[in-house]
Structure 1
Amino acid sequence: MSDNFVISISRQYGCGGRELAGLLADKLGVKLYDRQIVHIAAAKLGINDLSEEELLEMEKEVKPLSMQFIAFHSFGTHMGESSRGMFMSESAAIKKLVADGPCVILGRCADYVLRNEPNHFAIFACADDDFREQRGKTVYEGKSLKELDAEDKKRARYYNYYTGRNWGEGQNYDLVVNTGKQPLDKIADSIIAYIKTLKG
């Protein structure tokens, strides 16, 4: 693969996407970025007195009555609004991290932010309800399928609002994987082999 590749991973809550991202980063010997991006973005905005939970909640502040799409280039005129400012700052942080070297980025609308990068490979990880429900019980501290789906609705609303695209729609990604079909380690190996055939 190219020396400056980047893999972005979007995922359904409870499908094991975070673990998959970690496996890919380990196997490729590159850094994995996720919530660090939130902190970098917050620092750029001069926010230093909020907890991680408060930062994550702030970035998801999308009002239900403001669902219309706002063109990406116009966000700069609305930096006074916390969630829009956070999105723009996160986008800048993602582009800076990618410029610094190959990496795996989990979530943060990175598939959209990096859509024009030539060595970017976008993945969406999903799984059927039974698989996610079982992981909710065993991995996610007993969360129900209803709770997992509620988190996905938040992600989808945030993503759809800022990108104008539908979260999880196959045409937005280079590859969609069902993590319930094979062990995550095997899926990671298959993804790497597939990317190599496309990127060289």
Structure 2
Amino acid sequence: MTDHTIITIGRQFGSGGHEIGNRLAERLDIPLYDHNLIRMAAQELKVSNEEASRVDESILGKFLSAYVVGTGDYTTFAGSDVYEAPLSDRMYETQTEIIKKLAKQSSCIFVGRCADYVLGDYSNCINAFIYAYKDDRIRRVMNIYKLTEKQAWDKIKKTDKERKLYYEARTGREWGQIESHEMMLNVSLMGIDGAVDALEAIYRTWEGREHE
């Protein structure tokens, strides 16, 4: 691969990982790839953004391998001689190829999508996992999505469970553990700005090292 420095960000839901990625991309003036990866993959697969979003960072296809995703409900093709991999599998494979291509083009930031694993053979990769305390995550989700405390916590548990299943099924690693992500940043202690400052400092150090 190239000498570009890449940052990957895994995150608990409600921890501020997406915001950290956005702020960091602005400071470093490099591209951020998060939800736009869904649109890119959808275009490659010739499916709607809605269909792609439905299975993004989801392991749904692993449990529904006898079905294909149609325009609305799941449609069985039992008895057919034609087999098409579940959309979630095709989404993962397509996003994987897109991530590898983008990493070759320039320094950039990837949020989620197992990017740390996908780029595992790339030495110039800063892999961070963003987390925060339960109360802080609940407050953040309540504020962003205008939910009650119970609704916010239910949404956090559901989303984290989906991300954990997705990551562990695709990588064989344990989601949210230091052995998997190399660097853990607690936003409840550091704050959003502190996490951005830390990642910016590491990035600039790595970039300086490459140009010595």
Bucket of the pairwise TM-score, normalised by the shorter protein: 0.7 to 0.9
Deviation readout 1:165-195 (Å, 9 max, x if unpaired): 1111111123100111133122211222234
Partner of 1:170: 178
Partner of 1:141: 146
Matches of 2:118 and 2:203 in 1, distance apart?
A: 19
Partner of 2:88: 83
Which letter does structure 2 place at the counterpart of 1:186?
A: G
Contact 1:14 1:140 (C-alpha < 8 Å) held by counterparts = no
Matches of 2:145 and 2:182 in 1, distance apart?
A: 28
Contact 1:62 1:157 (C-alpha < 8 Å) held by counterparts = no
Q: Post-superposition shift, 1:58?
A: 2.6
Which letter does structure 2 place at the counterpart of 1:43?
A: Q
Matches of 2:137 and 2:30 in 1, distance apart?
A: 28
State the percentage of identical aligned residues: 32
Partner of 1:41: 41
Matches of 2:188 and 2:61 in 1, distance apart?
A: 31
Which letter does structure 2 place at the counterpart of 1:30?
A: I
Q: Post-superposition shift, 1:35?
A: 1.4
Which letter does structure 1 place at the counterpart of 2:39?
A: H
* Unaligned 5+ runs, structure 2: 66-82
* Unaligned 5+ runs, structure 1: 67-77
Partner of 1:19: 19
Partner of 1:29: 29
One of 158, 183, 197 as aligned partner of 1:189: 197
Rg: which structure is higher?
Answer: 2
Which letter does structure 2 place at the counterpart of 1:29?
A: D
* Count of residues paired in the alignment: 185
Contact 1:133 1:145 (C-alpha < 8 Å) held by counterparts = yes
TM-score, normalised by the number of residues in structure 2: 0.79
Range that drifts further, 16-25 or 138-147: 138-147
Once superposed, which parts of structure 1, at least 4 consecutive aligned residues long, lie more than 3 Å away? 62-66, 194-199
